[in-house]
Structure 1
């Protein structure tokens, strides 16, 4: 109990260190970790829940994760605490509904993974503790057969790799190194992966998770 209390305090301190607060009503839930906030000024803000990752809609449990987040936040007023945007302009945020930390709730309920693509020193120990407990209690996605419990970042990578392989069998590469250098110039995930892997354009992989241009490759 003492250890969990220490982790809880640590988690609160790290979570509340985020700089900018955005308040608004949730008007859309895209999936288990992405939503739209409508601010009092009637501005729509796209939010990506920080530090967690949920199954994609096409994965087992993907729609359940989406419903779980919707049940927690849809049509409710909450606060998004963020000090960072991703390369697509989404705010990476910790979400709070009153005193409830939504990111943590998704992990506690077994609806989300702690995002392992983050470096070790940035992972929240409290979230890791919640995930361990949810796994032990077989909550949510942890009740799935192991063969269906594929981390979403691995599922995305596998899907893109398969797509690239099929493309390479059907036609020769139509891209040439030096022609493009930014995500805004890419027309497909396969093209972005070519420029990352074959041409070494590392700026396409801003999160350093072997996934280029995530707006295309998600």
Structure 2
């Protein structure tokens, strides 16, 4: 792992080629959201500078690989972020019971984002930022 952009986006080096990876099935808080920096730090602590395996499941509209990042100890970074309460289960793109259960566990344990009274999902945060940008452009 050579670069961590945020909690759920990173760059790996494979055969001297940089590959941008978006973690499948989860959505971490944005950098300017509560817990955004913590999610990035968590991913960095587990993966940065380490040899990881990426199980690529798809590509997104930006050309990023969508996948599971398997850490040197065999744990899956996507799952670890959910367990730590540092990501939402992105049900729009993943229907797994496993990820839903991990999110529910974190909610019930009130860890990470779930310790907040009114946590805003990143997809809602991005919509609100986009709508504000459009309003400013119209003026």
Q: Pick one of 14, 17, 30 that aligns with 1:43.
A: 17
| Alignment RMSD | 1.1
Aligned residue runs from structure 1 range 67-78, under 5 A: 67-78=41-52
Shift of 1:142: 1.0
Q: Pick one of 142, 151, 160 that aligns with 2:114.
A: 142
Shift of 1:144: 2.0
- Bigger radius of gyration, 1 or 2? 1
Q: Pick one of 122, 136, 139 that aligns with 1:166.
A: 136
Q: Which residue of 1 aligns with 2:122?
A: 152
Partners of 2:32 and 2:4 in 1: CA distance: 16
Partners of 1:87 and 1:44 in 2: CA distance: 18
> Which segments of 5 or more consecutive residues in structure 2 lack a partner in the other structure?
none
Higher relative contact order (CA 8 A, sep 6+): 2
> Which segments of 5 or more consecutive residues in structure 1 lack a partner in the other structure?
1-25, 171-218
Partners of 2:71 and 2:18 in 1: CA distance: 18
Secondary structure, aligned partner of 2:67: strand
Partners of 1:105 and 1:92 in 2: CA distance: 17
TM-score for the superposition, normalised by structure 1: 0.61
The aligned length equals 138
